[in-house]
Chain A
């Protein structure tokens, strides 16, 4: 076997702390290495051309590239080998950047470690086999999880592209956070007027099936062939029959039911339609508040319903859907400000969240767009806005910037002045972060045209005083303490991962960061992909995002799915487990440990044997470690290959 070794400088990324020339020279002494060189950028066009030339000139059978992580460029170099006529699995990568040059400063030790990693790769490569990928069919349906603006956009794009779309939403209506907003920045146009038509499009699109009040129960399968079970929660109303007339809500006696859609400002009925523009416009019953469901009394809604749609005995229903790709667009939740004792920890009725204020501003909100403070219904005059509540604060485990609070606070001060010309807004801020198109101009307008008084500093305490509130804080530009008497305090609460995000990520087998936001495939180059093939991200589930960014990501995720589905078949990965039947004793250990259900027990001439379903196997190798006989082997990572690497290092 003729092996070629290419040691990459990666500019100064590697060459700065690794003697790449020495590594290449040492590599020449390894068995079956006939050619070794260092190269400036192995992944660049001249770098790859050098590899192709060397394969031809030295009649190479296999190639080792010592450079970055295989996550970055393994696929790149495999294609290079294919161009030169070699099987792409005759390639090994030694990671001397993330594992060596970026983490150590001692050049001599780094060089030694790089040489050892290259040596391991060479010894593994000597045992590599030609592997051929098979093909499998794709199910060209897509599931979008989350019906906020990102999910709506992704669903519409996919559906317009001719795909069949399943849209799953946890709440009774699609629309997400955007449907709760009064106006949007920086144009101050009506949120439901721009979102509403899109929601209607979703409802009317022939390619979209909507499951609202539904959650993901389980996800099985793999790219092209996912099998998803959706739990459709009981609405206690037959939605096929319900016309959304709302008669039921007029007769329901449980009129003090907490109103989730209105952020618990105001109350609703136990049977309700969350808001006038809800899609689907169907009634559902809050089981905890309903007299019939809790005490077996009442039943007024069933009597009044003109279509007899009420079903008190309705149960959750599990639905199976087969799809080829999944877009997660599950959004975010708002930070629970009661963790801040200095803002009253939830004890003061007139200290509210920005989203609650949004509902007060909204014409379809509980006060019909009149700003009334919760304690006494009076119109406030002095309003203090506090930014960064649950953002940029390590002490409460939220060190990140939520990104959109500066903008929506500026918007709310403008709307406040529009609603109440005599009012005065004060904004406590840390820094103004307004980097979008027309964003900084917008915050300047809030200050200069609408007279919002911006105070750079934090608030130390909010204290009730004569029916109003004393807000104590620091003005760090003046270097003084300030006190403002306010009627209403609006906290610009930050974004955090949606409740249940971690559990969903585990069902989807995608990664999440320490704060529960889903991890993209690469922070720059794969913003809407995940590390699990066929699963894409859109919107704030990946990190806090404003509306334009969420919409752009919805578009991007849809484009990814359309590109994936432009092929009729996908290549299967040959790096899967296979069973040597003569050695298998049929103990079934592999079947019990496989996390993907990829192993079946079969009957072979009257004896039980394990068998791998190749399209389901993800190549994790758990079965090979569990097999007491060494009968099950993972192609490209056989026991012999791994032992050869270990022996190289240790012997």
Chain B
């Protein structure tokens, strides 16, 4: 039975996290998971929308859910998936709120179409560990990441709020840990795996980011990690792109590559730079990868 999902890349997938989107698509292709991009999708409104108006947020998401409803009319879909935890949270929260008939009616009125919004909504990570199973991933591994010491960093909303996200353990998730272990990496225990990186406060309160993300980098180094592995575009951006700002503010000297898990999976599967896009990372992982057996550091 092959899996097929309506795919919602999210805005950052076209920009700051192009490497996440690209490597995710390549990984799914190798795994035989069919992704059908939601045609003419729009931004979910991200934090700015839901922070000021739940209805606005739900309507932005609702339009996308409506298009997915139409897709499901034409072919059988296993659900709607997205790589981005923030998009995921908006999708799932909207689905949760639409259970209230009065709210549902309002959203339909504004979106201008009936909404079913009944398809299961999941992250790509959840599909890999729950729908597909990580053993399938193990079969793909050609170049195990042996010797690579990593800490998994889930971010704060991949598993929270637990009543809505319904995925893994809210305090100590293990999905990413187990997945990375299947790729052959040495996964270290990481107490800060669900701490907040500062998220979108980076644009207005840089001091919050340098403190919170700085602490995550410090903890990763103390744990003995070579790299941090994320599943969230904003977390990755704060830890990677802002690493030099953090170093400056905190008088630290981190040179810690921050991967997307999909990049490492691609690397282990022997995919090329066109799929993994390691060059997009700000802190270059080349020196680190060059030291790994079987990896050239040149993106295979």
Please, which residues of chain A bring their CB within 8 A of the CB of B195?
Answer: 461, 463
Cβ A342 vs Cβ B171 within 8 A: yes
Q: Give the number of residue pairs across the A-B interface with Cβ within 8 Å.
A: 21
- Among A466-505, those with CB < 8 Å from B are 466
- Among A312-354, those with CB < 8 Å from B are 340-342, 344-345, 347
B72 at the A/B interface (Cβ < 8 Å)?
A: no
The interface bits of chain B over 21-43 (1 if a CB of A lies within 8 angstroms of the residue's CB, else 0) are 00000000000000000000000
B225 at the A/B interface (Cβ < 8 Å)?
A: no
Interface size bracket, B side: 10 to 19
A464 at the A/B interface (Cβ < 8 Å)?
A: yes
A465 at the A/B interface (Cβ < 8 Å)?
A: yes
Cβ A341 vs Cβ B219 within 8 A: no
The 3 closest A-B pairs by CB, nearest first: A341-B171, A463-B191, A341-B172
Out of A344, A347, A463, name the residue touching B219 (CB < 8 Å).
A463
Q: Other CB < 8 Å A-B pairs besides A342-B171, A345-B171, A463-B219, 6 of them?
A: A344-B191, A345-B172, A463-B192, A464-B191, A465-B222, A466-B222
B170 at the A/B interface (Cβ < 8 Å)?
A: yes
B159 to chain A, nearest CB (A): 10
Please, which residues of chain A bring their CB within 8 A of the CB of B219?
Answer: 463, 465
The interface bits of chain B over 209-220 (1 if a CB of A lies within 8 angstroms of the residue's CB, else 0) are 000000000010
Cβ B169 vs Cβ A341 within 8 A: yes
Chosen A-B contacts, 7 in total, with CB atoms closer than 8 Å, are A341-B169, A341-B170, A341-B171, A342-B171, A345-B171, A345-B172, A461-B195
Closest A residue to B172 using CB positions: A341
Please, which residues of chain B bring their CB within 8 A of the CB of A465?
Answer: 219, 222
| Chain A: interface residue total (CB-CB under 8 A) | 11
Please, which residues of chain A bring their CB within 8 A of the CB of B222?
Answer: 465-466
Please, which residues of chain A bring their CB within 8 A of the CB of B172?
Answer: 341, 345, 347
Please, which residues of chain B bring their CB within 8 A of the CB of A344?
Answer: 191
- Among A74-90, those with CB < 8 Å from B are none
Please, which residues of chain A bring their CB within 8 A of the CB of B191?
Answer: 344, 461, 463-464
Please, which residues of chain A bring their CB within 8 A of the CB of B192?
Answer: 463
Question: Complex Cα distance A170/B219, Å?
Answer: 46
- Among B228-284, those with CB < 8 Å from A are none
For B171, B189, B222, the residue with the greatest tally of chain A CB atoms inside 10 Å of its CB is: B171
The interface bits of chain B over 162-191 (1 if a CB of A lies within 8 angstroms of the residue's CB, else 0) are 000000011110000000000000000101
Please, which residues of chain B bring their CB within 8 A of the CB of A345?
Answer: 171-172
Question: Complex Cα distance A99/B57, Å?
Answer: 49
Please, which residues of chain A bring their CB within 8 A of the CB of B171?
Answer: 340-342, 345
Closest B residue to A462 using CB positions: B191
A416 to chain B, nearest CB (A): 25
Please, which residues of chain A bring their CB within 8 A of the CB of B169?
Answer: 341
For B172, B189, B191, B192, the residue with the greatest tally of chain A CB atoms inside 10 Å of its CB is: B191
- Among A495-533, those with CB < 8 Å from B are none
B164 to chain A, nearest CB (A): 15
B158 to chain A, nearest CB (A): 14
Question: Complex Cα distance A340/B171, Å?
Answer: 8
Question: Complex Cα distance A345/B193, Å?
Answer: 14
Question: Complex Cα distance A463/B195, Å?
Answer: 10
B262 to chain A, nearest CB (A): 26
Closest A residue to B171 using CB positions: A341
Closest B residue to A470 using CB positions: B191
